[in-house]
Structure 1
Amino acid sequence: MGCRWWETNLAHLVTINFEADIRHLVKDSPSILFWILSAQAPGTFIVHDAARYSVFMTPYFPAYESPADFSVARCERMLRAALGERHLPLRITSLSNWTMQAHIAEPYSKGRAFLVGDAAHRFPPTGGLGLNTGAADAHNLAWKLALVMNGKAGKGLLGTYGDERKPVAEANSRVSVANHQKMGQVTAALGLDEAGLPKLARLRASAPARVLPRALRSVLKRLLIAPVEARTRKVQQASSARFAGIRHDVQRAAAAQMAHFNTLGLDLGYVYRSAAICASGTATPLAPTTSHPVLEVAQSFTPGARLPHFRLQGTAGAPATSHDLVGNARFLLAGFGRHGKPCAALGRSVSQALGVPVHGLDLDAITHCDDRPQLRAWNGGLPDAAILVRPDGHVAWRYALQAQVGPDEVLAALCEILQVPVPVSAC
């Protein structure tokens, strides 16, 4: 496709997949991720199944070593050192290597080809944002492709895919990189020099070191890392008031990594800006705001934002929340206040005029009584609104004027979004 990449290589790692029962090691602090701050075996455990299968990732430094230097025997020694048990039964099932990267493609599409998921962007795993971003890429593109291929929308609609998704990838990439860099605060609080690891790799790669017997190399390595390991143990055990203070600093630095593990705002809080979002019909602009955009979602009916989540009232088997109303390859036209009742009929008439499924309904009639006050709050305090929601759950258009909404306003908005002319018969 002739794409350019915004490229940053952040780290190089060897991945060790192994089988072992480590339940006794993690029972007091069950988790998926464990960071090992050790000069002897630095890295991260991903515990998929503590009784059977885990992964250990450890850095390597291409200037001085390559993945070929990590033999099965060496990796087994590192594993045992990181686990802290020399005689634990374990079996390495595979070794691989990868580069932690931050890549964004430019452009996202060319002609009939579209980049989705890892083909369009790669992030560091610090934040776990890659999979959700890729799934949302596909979610964004699928309904647009379907409408264009079925002749219901202009080809320009496909151009909004990159306009909407690339800014999301850029934001997620920035946070992922920041998370990776921020983790250095933990090692800094512990008093460890991260620059020491490549120095060890450089020493191992030196000509004198390579000619020494392995046993002697091991002795020299232990002598070099012994002060670092001793300091780490003293901090862990809080063996004095000084080391207890350092341990407190480490715990505080670890607690500051919350954005690494809670990214609800990034996953659900983005607001699209493109030609597939219609800003007309809005009395006053709304802009969702939150003091923690990574952690929190500021819900609203702002065009481009995700439809807010609220409860519905009804019988068993009926939709339970607002999110159950969207999807199914159709648009949703939902109103409340003076625009509520007209929306049901408007949905049918607009659908017939364009041949595009539009489901109309009155939110006042189906919203749970406890959540109805939120409708006005999400509408900037205004009592009336008609909301056009896309098949991917994002608000495409909001009408909040006092004049009753009619078919002309809805048709004009939907035709602008689909990039098709308003049918003459509907004018």
Structure 2
Amino acid sequence: MKHKHVSVLIVGGGLTGLTSALFLARHNIDYLLVEKHADTAIHPKAGGITFRTMELFRQLGLEEAIRTTSKPLDNIRGRIAVETIKDIDLAELKQGESTQKEIDNKIVKMIEKISPSKAASCYQMNLEPILLQAAEKGKGHIRFNTELVTYQQDDLGVTATIIDRNTGTEEIIRSDYLIAADGAKSSICKHIGIPTTGRGVIGGHYINIYFQADLSTFLQGSQFGFYQVLNPEVFGALITVNNRDQWIYHVAYDPSKGDRPEDFTEERCREIIKKAIGVPDLDFVILSTLPWAAVERTATRFQDNRVFLVGDSAHLMPPTGGFGSNTGIQDAHNLAWKLAAVIHKQAHPRLLETYHDERHHAVQVTTKYASDLLFSAVNKGISTLNNMDHLAVTVGYKYSSKAVIEQEPTTHRMDRLELNGRPGTRAPHLWVNYQGKCISTLDLIDGNFVLFTGENNSLWHTAAQNVSSHLGITINVYSIGSQGDLVEREDSWETLYDVTPHGAVLIRPDGFVAWRTKEGESNPNLILKQVMTSLLW
């Protein structure tokens, strides 16, 4: 057998696995990613990308490419209920589009105040090739058609056996750490035996039928993204894939009545589509089918010594709200900088324990909200959302761990978005002029720690240089003000970050505030050394 050593072995080449690879490469960490399938996804699923996730893709330099790919779905919005697609009242449709557009514009304006990025619609089958292409240009190795056979870990690392499914050749891989991004049926999670919590299937079982058809006669350029079909024979939902001629139809089935996914033959699926559209002689082609279920399930632990669960291997939530894949990508982002700091010997391995502490809580908040959205929809508008705010769930959750230093007594709220520089929350977005360009403060979070200060920051700058040299970790320092490195364009950084002109805010490599001093410190060198040592060691 061949033997190879890498810092991190990633098992799974879906969205979470590929983004894990990209985030690790950004921190100059070598990895090997193995994926048992021969290629990236071929079926449309996981289409919604939140603005927070787009911020992460912005950091990777992929925002523009993803935005271009998602352009056909830019104006897709809202939902409407009809008996069949043929029965759509076009006047009602136009009125509904107009109302939905007004709602969406309000949301867009709210997001523009808090983020440099916008949400996008890009199905996994279109997004994965973009991520793969970017990963192949960077540090690390990716092997499709390669499967994890077995692994064992010890105090110093992980020894795994992988197999090339084409040739049958086995290989032993020695890694410092293993990331389990192998999906909802994770063999790694089962091997570890980590218990799960959650109510299991809470929204039913479905067959997702991907087909190609010209429906322009009935929709006439409609921009709706979700058509609820009420025909009791084929009750389900039609969703556009490319806003032209590709669609997916979700139809429910009931295992308790003996229904099985394999019962949905191509002939049966064709009959379902014809009845849903309301046209017996409809001309269309079925491209693929995929069973799925709305599930609520979370592992009780996201870490087992040197093994980390990310994405669907760690948690499953209903698709309502579109949080699932986004949550997994944010898992990968949280974990990557911590692995890098430990591997580069810039932090104690204890830092890795904060991955579970932070992400498990964020996942619980998000899963509850997604489930409540589902139950609210099923109950026809009866709210069970417990006053959680959608934007707060998207980007306003707060981390509490040893990787955050906070001394503020008030409780963090989730009924409204609060991004005010509080430690544990995502650093506020502020448009500034920097070196002749207009950028967001979030654009300066480049994988290192960042220290924002007032204009007169010579003591902070010296302190950062001293601490960086002492700990062997980079701290980038930026003064903000009319004569600073960064000049505010509209809002005041002091107001947004809740500091005085003498204050300072330390931001982690993942864009979350690690520590803040509102009034300043008499001995910046000492306090910054204490803060960084507490965070990392």
TM range (shorter): 0.7 to 0.9
Q: 1:79 to 1:361 in 2, by over 3 A?
A: same
Q: Would the aligned equivalents of 2:428 and 2:496 in 1 still touch at CA under 8 Å?
A: no
Tell me how far 1:6 sits from its aligned partner.
1.4
2:254 to 61, 64, 87: 61
Higher strand share: 2
Structure 1 residue 330 and structure 2 residue 412: aligned? Answer: no
Per-residue CA deviations over 1:288-315 (Å, capped at 9, x if unaligned) read 54644xxxx3111111011100011234
TM-score, scaled to structure 1: 0.74
Aligned length: 339
Whole-angstrom distance in 2 between the partners of 1:165 and 1:46: 31
Q: Would the aligned equivalents of 1:46 and 1:56 in 2 still touch at CA under 8 Å?
A: yes
Counterpart for residue 269 of structure 1: 396
Q: Would the aligned equivalents of 2:432 and 2:487 in 1 still touch at CA under 8 Å?
A: yes
Counterpart for residue 343 of structure 1: 460
Structure 1 residue 39 and structure 2 residue 232: aligned? Answer: yes
2:272 to 78, 82, 100: 78
Q: Would the aligned equivalents of 2:419 and 2:426 in 1 still touch at CA under 8 Å?
A: yes
Counterpart for residue 241 of structure 1: none
Structure 1 residue 151 and structure 2 residue 358: aligned? Answer: no
Q: 1:372 to 1:383 in 2, by over 3 A?
A: farther
Tell me how far 1:163 sits from its aligned partner.
0.2
Identify unmatched segments of 5+ residues in structure 2.
1-191
Counterpart for residue 474 of structure 2: 357
Whole-angstrom distance in 2 between the partners of 1:146 and 1:400: 30
Whole-angstrom distance in 2 between the partners of 1:53 and 1:276: 46
Indicate the structure (1 or 2) with the bigger Cα radius of gyration: 1
Counterpart for residue 189 of structure 2: none
2:512 to 385, 390, 394: 394
Determine helix, strand or coil for the equivalent of 2:250.
Answer: strand
Q: Would the aligned equivalents of 2:375 and 2:384 in 1 still touch at CA under 8 Å?
A: no
Give the letter for the 1:40 counterpart.
E
Q: Would the aligned equivalents of 1:21 and 1:50 in 2 still touch at CA under 8 Å?
A: no
Whole-angstrom distance in 2 between the partners of 1:172 and 1:290: 11
Structure 1 residue 375 and structure 2 residue 472: aligned? Answer: no
Pairing of 1:96-135 with structure 2 (within 5 A): 96-135=290-329
Q: Would the aligned equivalents of 1:299 and 1:308 in 2 still touch at CA under 8 Å?
A: yes
Structure 1 residue 9 and structure 2 residue 9: aligned? Answer: no
RMSD of aligned residue pairs (Cα, Å): 2.5
Counterpart for residue 235 of structure 1: none
Q: 1:321 to 1:377 in 2, by over 3 A?
A: closer
Whole-angstrom distance in 1 between the partners of 2:255 and 2:431: 54
Give the letter for the 1:165 counterpart.
R
Counterpart for residue 366 of structure 2: 172
TM-score, scaled to structure 2: 0.59
1:314 to 434, 456, 469: 434
Per-residue CA deviations over 1:302-342 (Å, capped at 9, x if unaligned) read 110111000112344x4611001112x3101111266x443
Q: 1:290 to 1:148 in 2, by over 3 A?
A: closer
Counterpart for residue 376 of structure 2: 182
Tell me how far 1:46 sits from its aligned partner.
2.1
Give the letter for the 1:414 counterpart.
M
Whole-angstrom distance in 2 between the partners of 1:182 and 1:298: 25
Whole-angstrom distance in 2 between the partners of 1:137 and 1:277: 17
Whole-angstrom distance in 2 between the partners of 1:146 and 1:335: 26
Whole-angstrom distance in 2 between the partners of 1:129 and 1:349: 41
Counterpart for residue 536 of structure 2: 418
Structure 1 residue 27 and structure 2 residue 220: aligned? Answer: yes
Q: Would the aligned equivalents of 1:332 and 1:390 in 2 still touch at CA under 8 Å?
A: yes
Give the letter for the 2:448 counterpart.
R
Whole-angstrom distance in 2 between the partners of 1:371 and 1:348: 30
Q: Would the aligned equivalents of 1:20 and 1:91 in 2 still touch at CA under 8 Å?
A: yes
Determine helix, strand or coil for the equivalent of 1:68.
Answer: helix
Pairing of 1:226-245 with structure 2 (within 5 A): none
Counterpart for residue 102 of structure 2: none
Whole-angstrom distance in 1 between the partners of 2:270 and 2:385: 32
Counterpart for residue 300 of structure 1: 420
Q: Which has the higher contact order (CA 8 A, sep 6+)?
A: 2
Determine helix, strand or coil for the equivalent of 2:333.
Answer: helix
Q: 1:50 to 1:314 in 2, by over 3 A?
A: closer
Determine helix, strand or coil for the equivalent of 2:379.
Answer: helix
Whole-angstrom distance in 2 between the partners of 1:277 and 1:386: 15
Whole-angstrom distance in 1 between the partners of 2:475 and 2:221: 53
Identify unmatched segments of 5+ residues in structure 1.
187-252, 420-427
Q: Would the aligned equivalents of 1:346 and 1:407 in 2 still touch at CA under 8 Å?
A: yes
Give the letter for the 1:6 counterpart.
T
Q: Would the aligned equivalents of 1:335 and 1:341 in 2 still touch at CA under 8 Å?
A: no
Higher helix share: 1
